[in-house]
Amino acid sequence: MKPTRLIFPLTVAGGAILALTACASLMSSGHIGNKTVPPPAKHVDLNRYLGVWYEIGRYENHFEKDCEAVTAEYRKRDDGLIDIINSARKGSLSGPVRTAHGKARVLRGSDNAKLKVSFFGPFYVGDYWVLDHADDYAWSIVGEPSGRYLWLLSRTAHPDELTRNTLEARTRELGYDWSMVRMTQH
């Protein structure tokens, strides 16, 4: 997939968190890491969720192949949508920067935890579910209903050991296969 502009967390050179979610719905290939994805666990305060997130780990996917230093930035728009700016370095930490822009809309009745994303015009086809997050929004676990895509996000590129252990424990508790998680370099 050519680098495009995306909205929401992660992916560049092929997508990012939103890009991944958008692509996740479009694609049926890939290993399923969770056959019974649970619904999001908590209400999401969008004002606290907005901002920059660092991808700490992910299920590998074609649109993020060989991407490191992956970030996703979310910004609220005047029309109620959310802009997504995903960026990454292709090939290595010193590789060229790729950026994708997209947009997302919150699904009604989801406590702001389920979004539909679009990186391709007016079509909102990707699912972006905030499955869990820290009370202080220091970390977040993002998935989608197929169980093929997963992103572990942090507000810092190098979270402390407690945060990393919490992310792993919650990911396992949510039913995801930890052996499929590919850690992102920053």
What CATH superfamily is the domain 17-183? Calycin beta-barrel core domain (2.40.128.20)
Question: Which has the closest alpha carbon to 18: 91, 116, 108, 152?
Answer: 116
- How far apart CA 121 and CA 119 sit, in angstroms, is 6
Question: Which has the closest alpha carbon to 167: 6, 52, 23, 54?
Answer: 54
- How far apart CA 126 and CA 55 sit, in angstroms, is 18
Q: What's the predicted TM-score (pTM) here?
A: 0.84
Contact 143, 134 (CB under 8 A): no
Q: pLDDT in tens for each of the 186 residues of the chain?
A: 344 333 334 333 333 444 444 444 444 457 899 999 999 989 999 999 999 999 999 999 998 999 999 999 999 999 999 999 999 999 999 999 999 999 999 999 999 999 999 998 888 889 999 999 999 999 999 999 999 999 999 999 999 999 999 999 999 999 999 999 999 999
- pLDDT tens per residue across span 49-99: 999 999 999 999 998 999 999 999 999 999 999 999 999 999 999 999 999
Q: Are strands 51-59 and 150-154 parallel, antiparallel or unpaired?
A: antiparallel
Residue 178's φ and ψ, nearest 5 degrees, are -65, -30
Q: Give residue limits of the domains in the chain.
A: 17-183
